[in-house]
Amino acid sequence: MSSLFHKGEAALAMLLLAAIVLLVFAAGVMRWFGHPLVWSVDVAQLLFVWVAFLGADMALRKRAHIGIDYLVKRLPNSSRAVLDVVLGVLVLAFLLTMTVMGYRLTMLNLERQFGDSGISYAFVTSAVPVGCLLLAVTLTGQILDTLRGLRSHPKPVFAPAPKAGDIEEVVP
């Protein structure tokens, strides 16, 4: 994917996070003055769902998701890369299933109203198919990248490739 898309995704996530902070702050101040903004918390929750999916995609692209790799790190690079590809395909199948099911959920919630905001609940549920599709595209790129270098220079799908000078933990 293009760098412009990645920068746009990061800018959108930052903008939405700033909007959440402002909405929650404004709700607290207005409540203190006796004029609560009931809708602002609903909108902040809606934006939080979108920020979570955008952040998950950015973390996947940087291979920064938390993983337990104690045993996997001890495998040879080629075996580890093959295992990561297999697991990546399983995760990809899950993400594509969530994209389809999330779309169905969004269509079911078109008429439903989100809290007191008057906003369609579909704006909240649409974060699931859009976010899972973004994650699926990112993961597909990483799987293909790993497959391209499998014979010459295998690298894992989910973890960043070890760099020279990285500190390895002591194995008992």
Q: Is residue 157 part of a domain?
A: no
The whole-number pLDDT of residue 2 equals 75
Which structural domain range is residue 100 located in? 3-150
Q: Is residue 42 part of a domain?
A: yes
Burial of 109 (0-12, 13-18, 19+ CB in 10 A): middle
The whole-number pLDDT of residue 163 equals 64
Q: Is residue 163 part of a domain?
A: no
Please enumerate in sequence order all residues whose Cβ is within 8 A of that of 33, keeping only pairs 6 or more positions apart, or say none.
Answer: none
Number of Cβ atoms within 10 Å of the Cβ of 130: 18
- Enclosing H/E stretch for 133: helix 127-148
The whole-number pLDDT of residue 39 equals 86
Q: What is the DSSP letter of 134?
A: H
Please list the ranges in the chain whose pLDDT falls under 50: 170-172
Q: Is residue 52 part of a domain?
A: yes
Q: Is residue 172 part of a domain?
A: no
The whole-number pLDDT of residue 127 equals 95
Report the alpha-carbon distance of residue 77 to residue 75 in Å, rounded: 6
Give the β-pairing of 113-114 and 119-120.
Answer: antiparallel
What are the percentages of helix, strand and coil residues in the chain, rounded to 5? Answer: 65, 0, 30
Q: Is residue 161 part of a domain?
A: no
Q: Is residue 167 part of a domain?
A: no
Q: Is residue 156 part of a domain?
A: no
Split into its structural domains, the chain has a count of: 1
